[in-house]
Amino acid sequence: MNKLSGLFALVFLVFAGDANAQKRILTEKQWLQNQIELLAGKDMHGRGYVLGGKDSAAKYILKKFKEFKLQPIVKDGPMAQAFDFPVNTFPGKVELKINETRLSPGVDFMIDPASSSFTAENMVFSSIDLKKVDDTAKWNKLVSSFETNHAYAFEHVDKFCEALEIRKEKFVKMLPKGVFVLPKEDKLMWGVSREAMEGTVFYVKEESLPKKMKTLSVDVNAVFEPKVRNENLVGMIIGDVKDSFIVFSAHYDHLGMMGDSATFPGASDNASGSAMMLSLANYFSKHPPHYSIVFIAFAGEEAGLIGSEWFVWHPMFPLASIKFLVNIDIMGDASRGITVVNATEYPDAFSSLLGINEKMQYLPEIKSRGTAANSDHYYFTKAGVPSFFIYSNGGSGYYHDVFDLPSEVSLTNIGSVTKLLIDFASNIK
């Protein structure tokens, strides 16, 4: 479209150099990459709950909102919505040594995010096969035999969980104080826990485990924070129709740090979505929309969609005034197009999206998906707000791990996704 060509050919003029600053022109892709590098950089500490990571990210995004001249929902009102929830954190050491080999956090192992502190040297290691522990009585007998000066590795946990009809997450919470190892065949992933459990549990890659495990040493510093302040960030561009809104949202939080040596940068998830949201805010600040557009940067998504749930229960404007909400999460590589969650729930809106893409040939494919509680659109959908969650298809597949780095984000076709969303928003009746 003609109105977009100028924006995406030249996005910002950035001044670099000395007193005779020379103008350097950034393309849309370069600008997005810069934002991702900043939001997923070392100074953000994984945008989590250690070293003020999430607070640094919030401060930066709010600065950009104001730079793009976004307004508070209520004149002279706040652009941040505060709420709190508990978080189990790991601000100090998370170290694991089996036999005499020190394993690498985030590479060889993950600690369960609900784990408690524990420090011990050269604990005797025992391996336990749970295949024959098929009822609660046998389990209780086994638990009573555990000693805190021993470490235990479990085999066939899935069989045990199947026999007792429980999820693996519940299994680890049944463990007493002590150190436990669960071999991991598939990908290592981490998360955020809003509770602390008695045990200290490690998920260790099978190839990182020695054939014969004799001793185990651990040093884990866990701190349970019962009340952590978080902020949703909300800014608006006033349109011709002031009291009807289109909403673009993205979560800016991530997992933070697992100890003092493992950081989860979250470049794809979701520095990329946050960067795209900022790009949209910049565009619409220069191209006033028909309907007012609200941009919401959510906190607490990785802890269980806490920020978006809070907003739905404490809206800063009537939810009924939302014409459509588009939530953006994981926008690092659209080489295989995008997937639209809730496409089946809003077929007319999805048809509009497909029609725009067919006409403009932005993306190779747009996939349809039904409802899912997998990002910040979910509670809006439950409240009756028309909404999509859009994520990109492509890339290296790094997710909730230490490898989700800015260097792994290609941004293939991401500029085209931005154009598609601009057209979609502009076509909403």
What mean pLDDT do residues 249-257 have?
98
Task: Decide if pLDDT at 78 tops 90.
Answer: yes
Same domain as 276, residue 185? no
**Confidence (pLDDT) at 237:** 97
380-424 tens-digit pLDDT: 999 999 999 999 999 999 999 999 999 999 999 999 999 999 999
Distance between CA atoms of residues 11 and 271, nearest Å: 19
Which of residues 199, 220, 241 is at a domain's end? 220
| Structural domain boundaries enclosing 288 | 27-86+226-427
| pLDDT over 50 (residue 19) | no
| CATH classification of the domain holding 44 | 3.40.630.10
Same domain for 117 and 39, yes or no, is no
Convert the pLDDT of each residue in 143-168 to its tens digit.
999 999 999 999 999 999 999 999 98
| pLDDT of 14 over the 70 cut | no
276 and 418: one domain?
yes
25 pLDDT tier (thresholds 50, 70, 90): low
Q: Are residues 402 and 386 in the same domain?
A: yes
16 belongs to a structural domain: no
Residue 411 and residue 349 share a domain: yes
The lowest-confidence range among 116-120, 129-133, 324-328 is: 129-133
Residue 420 lies in a domain: yes
Q: Taking CA 118 as the corner, what is the angle to CA 117 and CA 121, rounded to the nearest 5 degrees?
A: 155
- Residue appearing with tokens 């996939």: 367
Question: Considering the entire predicted model, what is its pTM?
Answer: 0.93
Between 252 and 21, name the one with better pLDDT.
252
Shared domain for 209 and 246, answered yes or no, is: no
pLDDT above 70 (res 18): no
Q: How many domains does the chain have?
A: 2
17 pLDDT above the threshold of 50: no
Of the three residues 220, 250, 281, the one that is the final residue of a domain is: 220
Q: Cβ(78)–Cβ(294) under 8 Å?
A: no
Angle among Cα 423, 425, 429 to the nearest 5 degrees reads 110
Which CATH number goes with the domain that contains 113? 3.50.30
Pick from 192, 310, 193: which is nearest to 249 by CA? 310
Which of 170, 192, 220 delimits the end of a domain? 220
The answer to whether residues 191 and 249 belong to one domain is no
Report the percentage of the chain scoring pLDDT > 70: 94
Residues 134 and 71 in one domain: no
Tell me, yes or no, whether 14 lies in a domain: no
pLDDT bin (cut points 50, 70, 90) of residue 26 is confident
Question: Which tens digit of pLDDT belongs to each residue from 266-319?
Answer: 999 999 999 999 999 999 999 989 999 999 999 999 999 999 999 999 999 999
- Closest listed residue to residue 166, CA positions, set 210, 201, 130, 192: 130
